[in-house]
Amino acid sequence: MTFTLAIVGRPNVGKSTLFNRLVGRKLALVDDQPGVTRDLREGEARLFDLRFTVIDTAGLEEVTDDSLQGRMRRLTERAVDMADACLFLIDGRVGVTPSDEVFADILRRRNAHVILGVNKAEGRAGEAGVIDAWSLGLGDPVPLSAEHGEGMDDLYRILRPIAEQFEERAAQDAPVVDVDVTETEGDEEADPEAHKPTARKPLQIAVIGRPNAGKSTLINRIIGEDRLLTGPEAGITRDAISVRADWMGTPVRIFDTAGMRKKARVVDKLEKLSVADGLRAVRFAEVVVVLLDVEIPFEQQDLRIADFAETEGRAVVVAVNKWDLEDEKQDKLAELKEMFDRLLPQLRGAPLVTVSAKTGRGLDRLHGAIRRAHDIWNRRITTARLNSWLTAMTEAHPPPAPGGKRIKLRYMTQVKTRPPGFVVMCSHPELMPESYRRYLVNGLRDHFDMPGTPIRVTFRGQGDKNPFKEKKNWGAPSRLRKHLDKKKPQ
């Protein structure tokens, strides 16, 4: 059992920089402009021998209405309530501001463990801010430099007693058992299938799409709480935030990504960082949900996003959101399926699901489509079945003979999963046309029931692997071989 530490403070005091320092990776976006962070981002922190959960929050502002800043503040206050300890960060070069005094008073009432940190305290420029921080009445201020890693030992000495309290509480609450079960034994019992999602290895899902398609709202509906910041404004999400949940009995880790606009329209540096973070989340995911807006589906940017997911080799599920706004549902569904088959032939057979993130309709179908896509993505086919199928395919449609050179397909085997990858050993692989590769890929989809998942087929030349090709006298008696070798001209 580990404790949770929430990092809070005004915008641009270095909360995300300190978060990245504690987790040991650049997970949170960092920029000079204030207000970069909007959602809550959790990470597993390591500080010497301490292990705990750290939460990066949005900057606190003196706004309480329903504006974007007001919703961000409420989300940060929620993180303070759920955290076991709170690190209140101020800017040592600016000193204590009136806003810091207001927020210090709020934190004093809401959280039992409040640690006062003075960031950017390196050098003489930050000394005045450390002295000024005593006026907040939150105990000894901790001078820190998140950028340079200074003050981490002082922070460790303050967090150590808090960690010991939670360790004692965990020891008291631990259930008494008669039989010890090792971690390996427990995993084998709970995970009979290698690719079955477990709490230790949840199913990784990335939700991608254009801005304002409803990605954050959909994820909030799936996990059953307002964990991610939502609203009518486009482009609210900036970081690729991951949340864990148990979705209808399936342990999942869902990545919420920033909306992806056309590359020509992305000129802001922060938006470029957000899109890059979302693309990185796609590479970590196993299943990618491409979320479309029912009012403007399959725009050029939607097609690019879906093609990117397929190119990365992820299992793809296409979901059409805001289905509750559609009146002519049957006609619209037929139109969507026709557009899907015509505009995304590389994803032929991928599931197309209609959902409403606002009402929750269709989430059971979306869950089933994701699980099926994941199973297909992990499917393995025996070599015997593959070669029987390959024989039938070549008899029905033999490969071409470009330039009079006949291409002979010798055998086929599956070399990988996630996504399924196959190698066909043949003669003249460099002459194999792309059309015949597509013919085999479509045949694999239809015959082995693998709709929608990316399939990789590679042609490879077998070459002459006869080890006795140069030994012309192989097979003769040993004395005769020696006699023939002596007769050879020198």
Residue ranges for the known binding site for GTP are 9-16, 56-60, 119-122, 209-216, 256-260, 321-324
* d(C-alpha 200, C-alpha 187), whole Å: 9
Helix (H, G, I), strand (E, B) or coil at 255: strand
Contact in structure between 281 and 243 (CB atoms under 8 Å): no
DSSP 8-state assignment for residue 11 = T
Positive or negative CA dihedral for 142, 143, 149, 154?
negative
Beta strands 142-143; 114-119: pairing state: parallel
AA letter at 359: T
Contact in structure between 10 and 86 (CB atoms under 8 Å): no
DSSP 8-state assignment for residue 323 = G
Binding-site residues: 9-16, 56-60, 119-122, 209-216, 256-260, 321-324
DSSP 8-state assignment for residue 8 = E
Given the structure tokens 């971690």, which residue do they identify? 183
For 15, 147, 160, 162, 282, the CA distances from 20, given in Å and listed in that order, are 9, 10, 20, 21, 21
The sheet carrying 203-209 orders its strands as: 241-247, 250-256, 203-209, 287-293, 315-321, 352-354
For 80, 357, 384, the CA distances from 224, given in Å and listed in that order, are 20, 11, 46
CA 149: distance to chain centroid? Answer: 28
Contact in structure between 229 and 72 (CB atoms under 8 Å): yes
Q: Hey, what are 248's tokens?
A: 């209808």
Those residues whose C-beta lies under 8 Å from the C-beta of residue 31, and which sit 6 or more positions away, are 269, 270, 273
196 burial via Cβ count (<10 Å: 0-12, 13-18, 19+): middle
Contact in structure between 454 and 314 (CB atoms under 8 Å): yes
Angle, helices 68-82/98-110, rounded to nearest 10 degrees: 40
Q: Phi and psi (nearest 5°) for 409?
A: -90, 115
Contact in structure between 40 and 79 (CB atoms under 8 Å): yes
Contact in structure between 206 and 346 (CB atoms under 8 Å): no
Longest Cα–Cα distance in the chain: 105
* d(C-alpha 60, C-alpha 43), whole Å: 20
